[in-house]
Structure 1
């Protein structure tokens, strides 16, 4: 048929007037250009404006992001297989510089960090790989992937061509490409593309504007890069395709999204609305011209140890389709349908032109039609963006199909109608007026799975030489009609899979018709080394010794639904076996009695500090090579007279606790330090003479410094930096929470008026912190407050959170611009402060989307007059040390320790047969700290995601006895710590094997 031969007549039975909005990406600096392969790789991987070619074959890259460093190595295969089973043919991942080179020159690529082994496992599973080598990665990861040791190289400026930085980047590229380059596809590996840099806010452009970008390219090429590559990320967003198709004729490379967001930072689980969005936006990408996309992230994960950034704690679930514990969310199944379709029809989608189809025939304007047409066929996407359910038939020539009546489209559903698709064995799919899940080639048999709502009709037509031996189920509405070389297949969908068979000479075509629910539970896999299709189980894992490993949510009742196996030679029912013990009440372990050890030995007078780093003034965390989230500092303070004093620390990130002569004296509040110095003030009692003073500092994640360009030494410094002084009086602090506000669309253009006008006048209103003055809409608002006159030598204003952007003025002078939404920041007021007042504060808040405003506390601090100069003579050592000596541990009986403390206990793990019990350890009653399972650091608590415990990876649990250890910064009692089950993630494990009887509603065969 010609492109014009298929006409759409839309017969609507229901219509709603509201069309949902989309969220298009608009990240600054993102390009859409992909650079071509070197000549050596072009035969293996190439592209044109329409799509990718791998070994000369058109391939749609359905890619899932999987981050190896956030998943235990023992679970890599499990998580990768879950992505593969969803129809994805490619895995994307970062390579993390600081993870692999924690100290300069000491590379770590073994064990859990064996990056090459991860890529080889991707290949073993028959998938391709896209590798993002940095140097910057983001990923809500410590420092965005930059090593801590870079901070201590004088003059270094990140994301520039400054020589010290570029030498360090060359050093990293030389190492990472020694692993990646041999694994490129033209050298026998899985790597088909590479990304250099990430989310740089400057556009590199197709010609690579700027010497920094060209240096990265030249170094990568020198180190062996030959496959296609792109700079800094392409088409990022939660709806990267936007709302309109693009014409591939204007492009030089295929459209690809390297981050198509499935969730967001600090999300956990999935809600139906977001699952619906992932489904619709995936189909839009297919309809509008995509050559591939990466669902970021496809698999939820964990920030083990202290690798989290300041937006995360242990969980990096992200609300991903595959949860942190390996469970499936609703959007796993909806994303699977789009991915399976895309990879089944790569020959069209990766080699076609996209354009809006004009209304033709009896089309109703409520249905939007977009076409992708090429040499191998066409796909017409029918988009029901009406907001309500509709029904439609499709006009082909003078006929309406399906002939039995209209098919239904749910609100926002997109139906792909395939036309004149070239299939194996010289067969053509003339049209398919129904959803196609995917196809599996099985020798001379091709199995096509189609789906539709129960009761809906479906229809498709195949043409090939010598159509014969046709059978269909004996159901009303189900039949196959042969006319010459064409076979017309008509189906009425029901809850049981229906099998149709058509033969074209030696080629067999099997059509399996299922409901959308069964389509979600249909899997394309290998069985006994040969391609197969399985319908029925919630998941189809490994096939081991003729049986299929499957899972079912543990909360489901009754037996697994009927399952079926389709191989080249026929179809069989699958029989299951599982243990009813999976419902046992003994599935959750109970912790035993606790032991406790003090965590403040480093604060005690006389503690051996010979190996500690010595300096005149305190150095930031990491100066001694330690990369943990803790550091101890010690100094001696002499006073002539005993009494109460104040300590002014000019810069601390993010928390500090002081000890005087071994006893806890005071602690600051937790304040995340990012760009600017964060002063802290503590009260201490000193004895006359010399006093041994120690400080424990902690940070809660180094900022990922998204988009930052410039000096690295002061950016997000942690621990104690700069001067520490002593005063006779403590600091003064005042909370600021009563504001007058006014919406004003001029923004900073109106600053002169808005910072000087009387806030008691017309248009101004009262508000407080944590109130959305924007009513959920984008806009600009000025906040005004009069600051009290507090005594001191320096004044600082601290904001806990502003959403989104803040511009701070004092007495009409602009002091600060902060564009880190909801991140804490400090503003030094000294340059505009008026002694004796008045001091008029004005804050312009820019809200870009959703709720906005001053979302947290605001505090005014004044540093007191110091006694003498800065305190000199410091020693520091990074990290905390869990006591190894048995004598350090005592039975814990009750009460808080009121000092840093380690706790440990044991528990027995004997799960019921046939069950995967998803376990977490809760931290109720604790302050802040870390958890270890059998020596593995599971990360930080409290979580920032809405989940009530830290994940206990099943591969690190032992049958029988296990040890759980906890470090709590304030020594809170562990009385409420318990192991809990996450019921939504728990699964029963089943094995399915072919039965002796078919048991499938199927066509008979000759």
Structure 2
């Protein structure tokens, strides 16, 4: 195939665009010779209409987006370990051009490469998305300011845009190339562009030219894994040889309108990309939060139930590649797109401070199911005889592959439902119809969806069908176990294969023996704790409540140290509990151990162990064990004490006021220019000052490059009419200016550019300020002084040397001791507060946050590093305190530095507290069993 590379290059890269521009979008229009050229390394990775085939094996790709710049480097491993424990097999990330090449010609991709190596080390596959445009709620969608300053249409076929896109690809693609799976690395897919259907309007031929150019750069740079994109209809033009090599995918953020938004688009994608697997590059893992709106976690339609619904719906439709955006939340450390909050928590399964919540466990339940029977879905198709439901508000569908299948059950009216269902048995030679349940009715909660295996071979038996979902199965010594789960109070029905009528021990609602199909049907009531049935003296069926099941874990051990076990082979031990997370496990000469994190409170652990353990230790101390031999149940109580820390209120501070003083800090002099023309600078408040003569002119005309917030002061007085986000402002001077010399001061709020839309290339700053009777004849103020960052800043951090040098200027104060002024003034007040976190031992993990409220907007720094932008309009008042930013050493002193906008004193601060994330705090516990 590689011998055809030259001819393919000539075909793709030297054929005029017009030759393809009017070609019809014919699904599956590739000829056999073209199909043979689609994959560079088909023995390592390729795909067909069903799925990816990776190293010779069909692969279901289920991933989590994790943005490495949104998390301090030393926390990457912690976050990836948690995603690994959830069960994901893939990590996806953008590669942010403006993060790596902040100044033209100075590119540093070391962080991306370090992250990629860690992903490989931890056993994930990886998807790299180098843009150049990435959106992502990120400043200018990842395109550097110095590129925008060149003033050409971004995301277009303009020669300059293609030139600079090539410049970026020539930097980033060699790093991606050497870490492809075809080179022994983790990267299995590379995405070009991003949601190009939503780019600024262009002629179809122009858009096609740009996408073909990006593909050309990949191809000539040695990218040998499949190229993908998302929401880019040009990539669906498979009569074009280059587009035939780009797999298009969908992105979905439907909240509760899952079926309405998802199903029709997947049908269209299936028709357009007939030779590729159905893929969703961004499946809703949450949503961002914006200044003045709701925090992600407070929004509707982004919880665990919605994640469950949208994921199982795309799987029902045949998707074999999906990726949660976001799978792991993060922080906008100075790189937020316009109007974005500092927190990029996203209400993701893994929260901003690394915390686990109900959505994480929902994602884990899905990943667990896919590990158990995802292989059934890979080459499945909808059954011809459609399943039925007794309730029109409950949808029942089925996919089958060979002699196994999966039934999908979805509630569609947003209300509790009861129903019975019928579906096909793919294992039956006659494809018999199964109706369930035998007695009573099944239940679904609003928006609930289930994914239920049919005719699935598990350890020790075959599940004919089940109305409860499956968590785990495996060997345990000389026995086998199966764990199923549902909501307490419900009836669940499970049918298991058995050559003869089985002996069933335990509590159940009903038991039917179906001799003709050699199966037993059991009705079981779900309780608040586990119920265990013992079948034919070898199979333990554990029926668990859903919430506990999704926080239960299975670990693999070698059984050689256990007396009475005939097969010294690997065995699985389920630990049924409500653990925060399962961390590690292993064996000793006498037994086994497991480490789990528990949150404060009383916990009951149930482990299935073959013989009675002689001893049990919790954190090294012997404890009593309740062992029930017939069902191998070992119960241990774990008591986790209350969180051993208290919140801290910070009242005593120091403050100093920074005005528009040209003698303080670095000022640039000259005419007004776009801020992007002045070089790289952090986000924040830009100061402008100029003197002007007022000779009776009626008005002032102010023009900004874009619609950023600005505050305008004339002779120290706020000009309210000009202090807004409008690009062009006209206001009368009579109320502000005096005859003769005057001073204008402007605070320009530079907090990110748009990350999408026609404003993507907008420059920032004040473009002109003019005086006159009308806009046409007004005269410009020519001489300006501009300070791009406050005097104490050096780059993106507070300079500790300057802070020390100005020590004499800091005044002590107690917050709340006097009433705050309400006046908006041309000044900024720096506040400093010190705190020391308590030393917490005993295996505790406690993340911290700052709670801050004030009557002015503010920027917050911890030990010199930016951690938050506060806005009085909300919604964010809690700011994650990253552990690596905390001071080290004995009794370390941490310094909070806060920049208050438009204030000359600190009493505008209402709340300043350092607080633990109680909901994400947990204590590690080691449990050991000996024989």
8 A Cα contact 2:512 2:522, kept in partner: yes
- Alpha-carbon distance between aligned partners in 2 of 1:668 and 1:182, rounded to the nearest angstrom: 56
Report the CA distance between 1:372 and its aligned residue: 1.2
Structure 1 partner of 2:229: 231
Q: Which moved more, 1:73-82 or 1:529-538?
A: 529-538
SS, match of residue 135 in structure 2: coil
8 A Cα contact 1:501 1:510, kept in partner: yes
Distance 1:644 1:599, change over 3 A: farther
Structure 2 partner of 1:265: 288
Residue in structure 1 matching 2:765, options 719, 727, 734? 719
8 A Cα contact 1:444 1:568, kept in partner: no
SS, match of residue 217 in structure 1: helix
Structure 1 partner of 2:407: 380
Structure 1 partner of 2:834: 906
SS, match of residue 355 in structure 2: coil
8 A Cα contact 1:577 1:992, kept in partner: no
Residue in structure 2 matching 1:993, options 911, 927, 931? 927
Aligned positions of 1:800-815 closer than 5 A: none
8 A Cα contact 1:579 1:913, kept in partner: no
8 A Cα contact 2:421 2:437, kept in partner: yes
**Could you say what the CA RMSD is over the residues aligned between the two structures, in angstroms?**
4.4
SS, match of residue 648 in structure 2: coil
Distance 1:484 1:905, change over 3 A: same
* Aligned: 1:518 with 2:548: yes
- Alpha-carbon distance between aligned partners in 2 of 1:82 and 1:565, rounded to the nearest angstrom: 24
Structure 2 partner of 1:892: 813
8 A Cα contact 1:62 1:343, kept in partner: no
Aligned positions of 1:535-550 closer than 5 A: 535-543=576-584, 548-550=594-596
Report the CA distance between 1:44 and its aligned residue: 2.5
Structure 1 partner of 2:14: none
Structure 2 partner of 1:939: 868
Structure 2 partner of 1:135: 132
* Aligned: 1:497 with 2:530: yes
Structure 2 partner of 1:416: 451
* Aligned: 1:628 with 2:687: no
Structure 2 partner of 1:173: 169
Higher relative contact order (CA 8 A, sep 6+): 1
8 A Cα contact 1:406 1:457, kept in partner: no
Residue in structure 2 matching 1:562, options 592, 596, 605? 605
- Alpha-carbon distance between aligned partners in 1 of 2:665 and 2:546, rounded to the nearest angstrom: 68
Taking structure 2 as the reference length, the TM-score comes to: 0.75
1:467-494 superposed Cα distances (whole Å, 9 cap, x missing partner) = 8999865434599989899775746244
1:260-316 superposed Cα distances (whole Å, 9 cap, x missing partner) = 223323133256864333322222222221112222222222112x21122312112
Structure 2 partner of 1:190: 186
Structure 1 partner of 2:141: 144
Distance 1:48 1:566, change over 3 A: farther
- Alpha-carbon distance between aligned partners in 2 of 1:388 and 1:579, rounded to the nearest angstrom: 36
Report the CA distance between 1:936 and its aligned residue: 1.8
Structure 1 partner of 2:158: 162
Aligned positions of 1:654-673 closer than 5 A: 654-657=708-711, 671-672=724-725
Structure 1 partner of 2:18: none
- Alpha-carbon distance between aligned partners in 2 of 1:83 and 1:89, rounded to the nearest angstrom: 9
Structure 1 partner of 2:315: 286
- Alpha-carbon distance between aligned partners in 2 of 1:206 and 1:536, rounded to the nearest angstrom: 57
- Alpha-carbon distance between aligned partners in 2 of 1:208 and 1:438, rounded to the nearest angstrom: 52
1:127-148 superposed Cα distances (whole Å, 9 cap, x missing partner) = 2222211111111111111111
Taking structure 1 as the reference length, the TM-score comes to: 0.70
Report the CA distance between 1:685 and its aligned residue: 6.5
Distance 1:580 1:295, change over 3 A: same
Aligned positions of 1:580-729 closer than 5 A: 580-582=641-643, 584=644, 586-591=645-650, 593-600=652-659, 603-604=660-661, 606=663, 613-621=668-676, 623-638=678-693, 647-651=700-704, 653-657=707-711, 671-672=724-725, 695-706=746-757, 712=761, 715=762, 717-721=763-767, 723-727=768-772
* Aligned: 1:319 with 2:347: yes
- Alpha-carbon distance between aligned partners in 2 of 1:651 and 1:31, rounded to the nearest angstrom: 47
8 A Cα contact 1:575 1:994, kept in partner: no
SS, match of residue 123 in structure 2: coil
- Alpha-carbon distance between aligned partners in 2 of 1:184 and 1:423, rounded to the nearest angstrom: 35
- Alpha-carbon distance between aligned partners in 1 of 2:479 and 2:168, rounded to the nearest angstrom: 49
Distance 1:206 1:660, change over 3 A: closer
Q: Which moved more, 1:563-572 or 1:883-892?
A: 563-572
Aligned positions of 1:564-579 closer than 5 A: 564=607, 573=634, 575=636
Residue in structure 1 matching 2:115, options 100, 113, 118? 118
Unaligned runs of 5+ in 2: 1-24, 232-248, 290-294, 426-431, 559-569, 588-592, 614-631, 793-801
Structure 2 partner of 1:308: 336
SS, match of residue 900 in structure 1: strand
SS, match of residue 692 in structure 2: strand
- Alpha-carbon distance between aligned partners in 1 of 2:664 and 2:298, rounded to the nearest angstrom: 50
Q: Which moved more, 1:676-685 or 1:73-82?
A: 676-685
- Alpha-carbon distance between aligned partners in 2 of 1:909 and 1:130, rounded to the nearest angstrom: 38
- Alpha-carbon distance between aligned partners in 1 of 2:379 and 2:870, rounded to the nearest angstrom: 49
1:638-664 superposed Cα distances (whole Å, 9 cap, x missing partner) = 56x7x9996432226524456789x67
- Alpha-carbon distance between aligned partners in 1 of 2:434 and 2:368, rounded to the nearest angstrom: 29
Structure 1 partner of 2:292: none
- Alpha-carbon distance between aligned partners in 2 of 1:987 and 1:928, rounded to the nearest angstrom: 30
Report the CA distance between 1:509 and its aligned residue: 7.0
Report the CA distance between 1:563 and its aligned residue: 4.3
- Alpha-carbon distance between aligned partners in 2 of 1:62 and 1:995, rounded to the nearest angstrom: 35
Give the aligned length: 800
Aligned positions of 1:833-844 closer than 5 A: none
Distance 1:872 1:411, change over 3 A: closer
Report the CA distance between 1:910 and its aligned residue: 0.6
8 A Cα contact 2:655 2:906, kept in partner: no
Distance 1:351 1:919, change over 3 A: same
Q: Which moved more, 1:493-502 or 1:72-81?
A: 493-502
- Alpha-carbon distance between aligned partners in 1 of 2:928 and 2:203, rounded to the nearest angstrom: 56
Q: Which moved more, 1:157-166 or 1:72-81?
A: 72-81
Structure 2 partner of 1:963: 895
SS, match of residue 325 in structure 1: coil
Report the CA distance between 1:74 and its aligned residue: 2.6
SS, match of residue 167 in structure 1: helix
- Alpha-carbon distance between aligned partners in 2 of 1:607 and 1:364, rounded to the nearest angstrom: 73
8 A Cα contact 1:201 1:707, kept in partner: no
* Aligned: 1:71 with 2:103: no
- Alpha-carbon distance between aligned partners in 1 of 2:251 and 2:422, rounded to the nearest angstrom: 35
Distance 1:625 1:358, change over 3 A: closer
Residue in structure 2 matching 1:460, options 472, 495, 499? 495
Report the CA distance between 1:995 and its aligned residue: 4.0
Q: Which moved more, 1:923-932 or 1:383-392?
A: 383-392
Structure 2 partner of 1:748: none
Residue in structure 2 matching 1:369, options 393, 396, 418? 396
Report the CA distance between 1:877 and its aligned residue: 4.0
Residue in structure 1 matching 2:507, options 469, 475, 486? 475
8 A Cα contact 2:419 2:441, kept in partner: yes
